[in-house]
Every structure is written in structure tokens, then in C-alpha cells.
A and B are shown apart, each in its own frame.
Chain A
């Protein structure tokens, strides 16, 4: 085990983690699932089924469309009743396949066990892609892509992200306690494919039981270690995690592989194990259900595609006496507020928080008093106060120069701002415009060059 480490900036929001002691409860298959083809960053897959088709549990519903793409699978057995546009948790309509279950008891997926570590690297990657594994920490980047860095970027270290720095979420915590062997196996597979020499599992000190357990399991493994981390948000940001454990700074605009590192979430590692050893597709995940409106807060194993309202109902529903004001998919810092509870749980859904009006209370925006707290808190060491002014005045070139594209939208600045300025909202907009402007300029340059 390493000594406790951390990064610069960041802050300590109240941790709200009430479900760390709640063991994972598998929920029965829902009657209906809505499976969006796009549950990852990159091109959505091409559908393989049409309305009326009968599908088996685990059957692929789409095939990847290019390299940066991942398939999705039927998470229940049943009949395809619709292929069309359905609301996605991101607030846009996108193509999804709707399956109605047969209602018959499920035969277990027959896991064909192979020793994954003895497979050739290409086969491992193929199985990972075929299983539709994507980053389950929320970023949902297709995992096989991360495992195929160009030859010019050798990877020496793999870090598993078990930090779970978002308040309220405990899904990864429970997974580490209940399926540590799968996680470690996943780590070894990733290291094998990348030919990495060292592997770390980064865990915040607020999960001492997980640290202890994994540390015990890694005893005797010379090149693997648990890295305990100071409890600080956003310790689980890829760049912050790498800075804390290895003291390496991912260059602005760059990726972890630029400093020889690949980071995977612990849940992704477990999914990698299932994909490679058992050829099991990613059709379920652990989701934390919490918030004062929820009757039975806890951690649930949920089929991908389960509509959020059915998930909540299956887990015991809401308290009738506490009116629901806000539902967040993900954590309180970076999660998305849902506008409609018919949207499905997807591969990147780590939690569903059902908040009362009191928890969701908004505060009026006042004026910036130049307190500097946003600067202090920014883990990317940007000047949020200045960037906000630049965005407000549409000074895009200057915003770019001050690094607006480095903003990871972690929300530290807005969380701490006493004037309650909508900083993250500004940066989301600003990043989009700045990115588009840069692209337009680059295109113009190119056209001129021709």
C-alpha cells in the first residue's frame, strides 16, 4: 500500500454517503427495457434487430459502427416492440430499441469460463468490444479503444479508479467489497494488453474497508498496489488521480496515455473480467439509489435499459410523504438532472438521486465579490471568475488562451462560489463555442494551404 496522496485544488463537499453499508441487491428483470444505441462516446452502433424479432438475454442488438463504437445487448429476453427515437438521459431523443419481456423465468447466462489471461491480446480486446464494455464511471468511453494506444505512446502504468469522489454514490465501494477478485482480474487483463509494468487501485480514505480488503488481496503481487487517497473532490478525475498517485501531469489538451497511463473505473474492470473470462456482455450494472425521497436507499444491480421510474419502483418506490423535486442521474456535483423518469438506466449511470425540494433548493445569483474561492478550488488551476466574464462578453479567443477547454466541468468553482454564479453552465457553453471556433479557424487555414 502506498502512502496517502492527493492533488492540488479541489474541495470537501459533504459526502452524503449513506448507503456504503448496503450490500448490492439484484433486482428482478423489468417488464420492459429501453436500450439506446448510443451509450458511449463515439459513433452509435448499427441496429441488428427489427420490430417483432425475438431476442435472447445477452444477444447483441447492434454492431459497432467503426472503431470508436460499442455494441449494446438485450438485457432481458423478449420481443422487440419498437425501434425508434426515445428520450435519452442526456436530454436528447436518440435511437433506442425497446424490448418487452416474456415474463418467463430466466435461464442463467451460461458462462463459458476461459482463462482470460492466457488469451492473445487481440482476442482479449475483441471480447471486450464484443461485450460492449465502456467506461462505467460516467465518461463511457469505449474500453477497447483505451486499450489500443498508438505504438508511439507506451503505457507503463494502469490505474483503477475506485475513488468514487462524488458525494452520495457508493456503487463502486460496494463492488470493491463484494467482487474484489473480478476487479483485480480485470486490472491484470488491462495490464497484460497494454504491457504495463505497474497497476494501482486508487481508493479514497473514506472507504477503509475496501482499502483493507484489496490490500490484502494484492499482498504478494509485486507490481500491484492499493493507493489510498485523501478524501477530496474531484480526486476521481483522471488527471487528478494520475497527478496524485504518480505525480505526472497530463498535458493540457492531452490524454492520460501521453504520460504513459491508462485509467479504468473499478466497475469497468469487473465488466472486463466478465467479458474476457466468461464472454458475458455488459447488460447490468450497480446503481446507487439515494436521496430523502427514496424509501429504500441502497445499491442495486439493475439491467441496462430499465426505465428510471421502474427501477425506483422495483427498489421499493418513493416515500409518499416527501414530494419529489429533483432527480439526478449520477452524483450531486457532475450528475445530470433528469426531466423525465421514463429515460433508461444506461451503462454510465452510477446513481439515481431523488431529492426533495429542500435538498434541491436553489439560491439566487448575486454579484461576484472577487473572493478568489473559485480559483482556489479549481483542480485545473484555471481562473473561473475571469473565464465567466470572458464568456459573458463572448471573448472566445481570450477564453481559449486562458484554458477554457481544460475545464473538466467538475463544478468545484460553482459549488464554492458565494455569489452562486452559474459558472459551470457558462463553461459548458463557452467550451462548445470555443471548440467550434477553433475548428472553423483550422479548417480555414487548411483551405488556404491547399
Chain B
């Protein structure tokens, strides 16, 4: 009976989740939003996403094989996920090679530089976006009009670009003459924006508006978010506080419920709140930490949208809050069981 027995320290069994499973399931949760972008932006959405993913995988493979001489971990899905997320927060009109560079740079400068998976401070997809925005600002602000055929790659035909709702809103508010005439005709800035872009509330929900590749399909993103909640890969704390802060903050600033809904449903808030601000590696580890993080992201998003130069602030708000994570973690250490109520007993000599 005494063959070789396996001897390990307990626990002897294990929850089914692995790092790879989590990464692939988060990627899966992005599929509905991807289908929406396919419908809204056509073939370019596929090309940009694919190139982003390939770039990320190439970056990961290059660093691991050439510099670290370690076995490749492409199968764990984390590079693929970074590639997809990067693609989701850039315009679908981006040239394919720019997307490739984005994915590549995100992995190399956003993740591997810090020591690889688990060690990076900033969300690699957002690092990639920041690098692209600094390098190719025009490409990064050329938004496709929803539902217009533009082919798969190559130069864009004329007349296929349009402003994003947030962009147009900002321009409108900044144009005193326009605001004046709008006021005279009894139109709000919101009505003007909707009218100019020929969209309505349903478009904000379904995603048939201009914007980054994967951020427009709010309902689809919500679906993915609910999946992640059910699978316990995220908790409600970050998304709810982040979106709640933006919603209530807008309500407080504008005193207009319609504007509050507009800011909730525009830009990258859903994508950021469900998929970026919940990235495990770059956000706090406890639930209290999540609440603080979500609130901070929401507050900075508001600040940028209302006071800053950019129409949208989700990406930078998350990057800024990423930097505070060590601090948040330090101040949200749970009270230990049996702590406080009595001092630790000294070891008896």
C-alpha cells in the first residue's frame, strides 16, 4: 500500500479560479462591448483591436524571451486583456500600426518595466493611451461618425468624422456667443449637442455615438460588468462609487438632472469604472480602499471634465489614482481580529 505519496502543506484543495482564468473571463466580459463597436464603427474596430492585441503580445513575448529569458506567459491572457483594453480606449479610426505600437508600448512601458504582471503601478492600457495621445494627438482625437462605412484600413474618406458628445458639449459651453444665442432661443447646451449630433438618450445607452472604440456601448459594458460581479472578479464598490460620484457631482455642479445623466452615460465612464478602475493589480486591495479609489476617480473625472482642458477625464483620473494606491492600501489595513481590545501578549521567556 505504501507507494509514493504526495506530501504537501495544506490546504489540500483549491478554489477553481486561477490568474489565467480571471484574465480570460475579464476579456470575455468585454465581448458584448466589442460587438457593439463592430456594429457602430465597422471593420476598423476589428483591425484596431487585433493590432492592439498583437502589439501587446509581441511586447510581452519580446521582453520575456529576449531580456528576461523566462518562459512566455502569453497563455495567462493578461497581455491579450491589456491589448483589448488599450484598443477600447482609443478611436476606431486609429491607423493599424499606431494601435500595434500602443499595445506594444503599454506592455513594455506600462507593465514589464516595473517587473511584469502584478508589479506595475499604473494601468498599462491607460499608459498606452497616454503615450499615443502625446505622440499622435491628431489620430487620437479623430472620432468616427457612428454607422458610416469606412472600410477596414487605409486613409479615411471625407466626411466620416464627428465630435464626441462630451467634446461637443465642452465646445458649446466654452463658446459664449453660441451659449448666448442658445439661451435666446430657449435651447439648452444638452439639446444643442443632441441636435447637432442627431442623437438621443437611446444612442447614449446603446452606443451609436462617436467616441473611443469600446466605450460607447453602455448597456453592453454594463452586461460585462454584471458578469464580472457575478463571477466575483470585481466588487460593486469601485464602479458604484466612481459612477455615483460623477453623477451626484454633476448634479451638484449643474443642478440639472439631465446633465447628470448625460455625464454618467458619456465618455469612458462605464468602461473605466467597470474594467479599468477595477484592475486588481493597480487598485487597492480592500473594499474600503475600493470606495476611496472609486470616489477619487470620480472626483478627478469631474474636475477634468468641468475645469480641465480635455473634454474627458476618466483615463487620467484613474492614472492619477493609481499613484495613490500604496497610500490607500497603507491606510485601509483592516483591524486585526483581537487587536485593539487588548494588547498583544508578549512571548513568555
Which residues of A line the B interface, CB within 8 A? 8-9, 11, 13-14, 167, 239, 243, 249-254, 258, 309, 312-313, 318, 323-328, 332-342, 353, 355, 359-360, 362-363, 366-372, 375-376, 379-383, 385, 403, 405-406, 409, 411, 414-416, 418-420, 422, 424-425, 428, 435, 438-439, 442-443, 446
Contacts and interface: CB of A to CB of B under 8 A. Distances in A.
Contacts of A419: 18-19, 118
B12 A335 contact: yes
Given A309-B2, A419-B19, A355 B341 contact: no
Contacts of B280: 369-372
B230 interface: no
B184 interface: no
Interface of B: 1-3, 5-15, 17-22, 73, 76, 116-118, 280-281, 283-287, 333-339, 341-349
A333 B12 contact: yes
A326 B349 contact: no
Contacts of A382: 336
Given A253-B344, A253-B345, A368-B118, A333 B10 contact: yes
Contact of A332 (B9, B11, B76, B281): B11
A439 B349 CA distance: 6
A252 B18 CA distance: 32
A250 B13 contact: no
A414 to B, nearest CB: 5
A180 B337 CA distance: 33
Given A369-B19, A369-B22, A418-B22, A334 B10 contact: yes
A441 B194 CA distance: 72
A83 B341 CA distance: 48
Given A252-B345, A369-B281, A370-B280, A362 B15 contact: no
B9 A428 contact: yes
Contacts of A425: 9
Contacts of B118: 367-370, 419
Given A366-B18, A418-B22, A251 B10 contact: no
B336 A367 contact: no
A144 B45 CA distance: 73
Among B10, B336, B349: residue with most chain A CB under 10 A: B10
Contact of B9 (A312, A403, A424): A424
B17 A342 contact: no
- Interface of A, secondary structure class, is loop
Prevailing SS type, chain B contact patch? loop
User: Which 4 residue pairs are nearest across A and B when measured between Cβ atoms?
Assistant: A251-B342, A253-B345, A411-B11, A372-B285
Contact of B18 (A13, A420, A443): A420
15 contacts: A9-B337, A250-B338, A252-B336, A252-B344, A324-B1, A334-B11, A338-B5, A341-B1, A355-B12, A363-B14, A367-B116, A368-B118, A405-B344, A415-B11, A416-B15
Contacts, number: 188
Contacts of B9: 337, 422, 424-425, 428
B78 to A, nearest CB: 8
Given A251-B345, A253-B344, A337-B7, A415 B285 contact: no
Given A251-B342, A325-B5, A419-B118, 4 more contacts: A251-B341, A252-B338, A368-B118, A370-B281
Given A312-B1, A443-B349, A251 B19 contact: no
B125 to A, nearest CB: 15
Contact of A415 (B14, B336, B338): B14
A127 to B, nearest CB: 30
Contact of B11 (A368, A385, A424, A435): A424
Nearest to B339: A252
A379 B337 contact: yes
Contacts of A336: 10
Contacts of A313: 1
Contact of A337 (B5, B14, B17, B283): B5
Given A339-B7, A363-B18, A366-B76, A252 B13 contact: no
Contacts of A369: 19, 22, 117-118, 280-281
Contacts of A383: 285, 333-334
Given A359-B13, A418-B19, A337 B8 contact: yes
B12 A326 contact: yes
B18 A418 contact: yes
B338 to A, nearest CB: 4
Given A369-B118, A375-B334, A337 B13 contact: no
Contact of B337 (A325, A339, A381, A428): A381
A380 B336 contact: yes
Contacts of A368: 118
A56 B6 CA distance: 38
B5 A415 contact: no
Nearest to A443: B349
Contacts of B19: 366-367, 369, 418-419
Nearest to B285: A372
A319 to B, nearest CB: 12
Contact of A435 (B6, B7, B283, B347): B347
A9 B334 CA distance: 11
Contacts of B333: 383
B275 to A, nearest CB: 15
B14 A420 contact: yes
A360 B336 contact: no
Contact of A424 (B10, B22, B76, B337): B10
A369 B111 CA distance: 12
A337 B6 contact: yes
Indicate the member of B2, B11, B286, B333 with the most A CB atoms within 10 Å. B11
B12 A418 contact: no
A326, A362, A372, A419 interface centre (most CB from chain B within 10 Å): A372
Given A367-B116, A370-B281, A332 B334 contact: no
Contacts of A438: 346-347
Choose among A8, A13, A337, A362 the residue with the greatest number of B CB atoms under 10 Å from its CB: A337
A249 B117 contact: no
Contacts of A379: 337
Contacts of B15: 11, 13, 415-416, 418
A441 to B, nearest CB: 9
Given A318-B1, A369-B19, A442 B347 contact: yes
B11 A414 contact: yes
Contact of A325 (B6, B73, B338, B345): B6
Contacts of A416: 15, 17
